Structure 1
């Protein structure tokens, strides 16, 4: 039996009762795997949702495209962009721009997910890639950010690398649907990147990430196979082993004779 894709009302009804699963996926193959694995929510690239085949492989995934705010522009640009995303099948959109921009979208009934805690595009304000909210004062700043998102009309927020106690306390006191990335189990969904789960990330592994497979080693193996195959092709061409008879098309003998006669004249 196929799953029903959740609505905003469904997610609001779930809040505080159980945790959902969320992934960042960037390819059609990852989206299809998330669908078949029973993932609830995905963060995706705008290009994925705009692909007509996306909903064929991911019919039940609550899908949220997003871009960094400097990739889109002004509040008006965001409204136009979000209309395009929703028309293509998005269930919500991610926005780390200003509260005023989020309000402009929310005023048009666009479900918007904001961002609090460690916001990568604004990390210079909080000291780089590090936990946010470890003091009472900084924790209250996160509380204020959540209240601002509520007032702006956001539906939810990603809460990233915040102490578990702070995230849980906030989640109990907000109507926002909170997506935990390294903020513990007191929120409404756990959020990881597919590339981390698959072991495809060769760079720094965040503290909250968990690796379930080793795709990097498989990619290395496939690269060696790729090089070997290309070398064999080079050798075949240089030794006249390629193309073989089965790889070419020949002209009927009578047509060939006629062609050569004309060519000769």
Structure 2
């Protein structure tokens, strides 16, 4: 059965009823695969969102451009201008981890905003670096205050990253925000992973919450070796004179060639 792209109202209505799926994708191929797999939500780069082919690849996925907010610009006005462009290109919402003032400005312009609480990579220095947030009562209260700030600013959703599952679940039950878990357990409204982790493309450290479903890195390694082998054979054929062969070149009638050679012989 064909599905329609969900709206913000649809996502809010689904809160507490079923878990949504979310992926971070960076290519049209990944976007198309997510669409065909029935993924609900996509985090996408600005470049991908602005590509006119994106909506053909993923017409029914709820798309949230999710580059770091600093790439939008340094000021609230610059962030707003970029958000308007993204929405015009087909974005369903924008990700923003900037100030509550900036989020409120976007919301005032009726632009749906997904915020971020818990471990926020761009602001991790304030919470001790790349580590879990909310493992004590005090830090769990801090995450709760982050959520309340987003509510008051007008956000409709929030990524909640690397927060203990019990804390995230307790918060999710008490907020109207659509809570999107990245390493924050199953008690939220959606689960979020990066496509590169799901596909096994990450050659470095995998976060604890990641689950690898394929090993495409090995397949790309194999393809790269085949690429090197093909190029090596090509170079060797050139060196040996094997390439180009007769089948790779255009022929010419012998009489026409003689006429041309006679012409050349008369040239100084």
Q: TM-score, normalised by structure 1?
A: 0.96
- Alignment RMSD (CA, Å): 1.3
In structure 1, C-alpha distance between the alignment counterparts of 2:264 and 2:149, rounded to whole Å:
81
Q: SS in structure 1 opposite 2:114? A: strand
Aligned to 2:168: 167
In structure 1, C-alpha distance between the alignment counterparts of 2:255 and 2:62, rounded to whole Å:
64
Instruction: Compute the displacement of 1:253 (Å).
Output: 4.4
Is 1:152 aligned with 2:156? Answer: no
Which whole-Å deviations, capped at 9, do the CAs of 1:88-113 have from their partners, x for residues lacking one? 11111111111111111111100110
Which whole-Å deviations, capped at 9, do the CAs of 1:141-181 have from their partners, x for residues lacking one? 11111111111111111000001111111111111111100
Aligned to 1:54: 54
Where does structure 2 lack aligned partners over 5 or more consecutive residues? none
Which whole-Å deviations, capped at 9, do the CAs of 1:185-212 have from their partners, x for residues lacking one? 1111000111111111111110100111
In structure 2, C-alpha distance between the alignment counterparts of 1:240 and 1:104, rounded to whole Å:
68
Instruction: Compute the displacement of 1:262 (Å).
Output: 3.7
Aligned to 2:134: 133
Aligned residues: 265
Q: TM-score, normalised by structure 2?
A: 0.95
Which whole-Å deviations, capped at 9, do the CAs of 1:25-79 have from their partners, x for residues lacking one? 1111111111111111010111111111111111111111122122222111111
Is 1:82 aligned with 2:103? Answer: no
Q: Is the 8 A contact 2:199 2:216 kept in 1?
A: yes
Instruction: Compute the displacement of 1:248 (Å).
Output: 2.3
In structure 2, C-alpha distance between the alignment counterparts of 1:240 and 1:50, rounded to whole Å:
47
